Chain A
């Protein structure tokens, strides 16, 4: 089945640090990837849609200059949390859609980000 790999699985860093999270589709090409955020005891909230070769589309309330998304290839999208602060601590999850078929969306295992 389709596999989406997310790295790192856990990050702990100091306030003010920028953190990059990678999302890779391992056995399919993904023209579209999605980035979600999940706070404790809440559901997943879509942050942005990442399209290969073009700018990401951000959901309302998500700062594009703080959450930088790059989708440079059909198998890799990155999310960089710039100048992270404690309120950015969350569970970040990516997903990918196979580009040429009506396959379901597949998710990575998430990145637990803790900002001290």
Chain B
């Protein structure tokens, strides 16, 4: 699986958009970009994933560059409860016995009042 690079930490003001970058320059054509987050002392929570088109759901938006070498997770209106470690992971989309995710160090997002 391709490796990802994320900044170790970011701050964001409450109510503002949080834009979390991720570089994945060695991504393969069949690999998806997944985003998870982990709030302190909890299991990771799925946020969103995409292949090449931008994606949006009730939690966030995912913007993938045309060359797919980087992406940005956008939390449109960050709240204090969005403070967490955010993981960007690239993986082939799976079903059945595939699917273990390789977690890097992620980005620790701190949302401040």
State the CA gap A6–B36 with chains docked (Å): 18
- The residues of B that contact A45 with a CB separation of less than 8 Å are 103
Q: Which residue of A lies closest to B47 (CB)?
A: A104
B80 contacts A by Cβ under 8 Å: no
Query: Is the beta-carbon distance between B106 and A43 smaller than 8 angstroms?
Result: yes
Contact segment of B21-29, B38-46, B67-75: B38-46
Query: Is the beta-carbon distance between A104 and B95 smaller than 8 angstroms?
Result: no
A contacts with B: majority SS: strand
Q: How many residues of B contact A (CB 8 A)?
A: 25
Q: Which residue of B lies closest to A92 (CB)?
A: B43
Contact segment of A11-19, A76-84, A93-101: A93-101
One of B44, B49, B93 near A107 (C-beta < 8 A): B44
Query: Is the beta-carbon distance between A104 and B34 smaller than 8 angstroms?
Result: yes
Query: Is the beta-carbon distance between A44 and B95 smaller than 8 angstroms?
Result: no
Query: Is the beta-carbon distance between A101 and B46 smaller than 8 angstroms?
Result: no
Query: Is the beta-carbon distance between B103 and A31 smaller than 8 angstroms?
Result: no
From known contacts A49-B100, A97-B99, A105-B101, infer whether A44 and B94 are also in contact, taking CB-CB under 8 Å: no
A60 contacts B by Cβ under 8 Å: no
From known contacts A43-B104, A43-B106, A102-B94, infer whether A32 and B99 are also in contact, taking CB-CB under 8 Å: yes
Q: Nearest-CB distance from A91 to chain B (Å)? A: 7
- The residues of B that contact A102 with a CB separation of less than 8 Å are 93-95
From known contacts A34-B99, A97-B94, A101-B95, infer whether A109 and B46 are also in contact, taking CB-CB under 8 Å: no
A residues lining the B interface (CB < 8 Å): 4, 6, 31-32, 34, 36, 43-46, 49, 51, 91, 93-95, 97, 99-102, 104-110, 112
B residues lining the A interface (CB < 8 Å): 34, 36, 38, 41-46, 49, 87, 93-106
Q: When A and B form their complex, which 7 residue pairs have the shortest distance between CB atoms, in order from nearest?
A: A107-B43, A44-B103, A43-B103, A104-B46, A97-B99, A107-B44, A110-B43
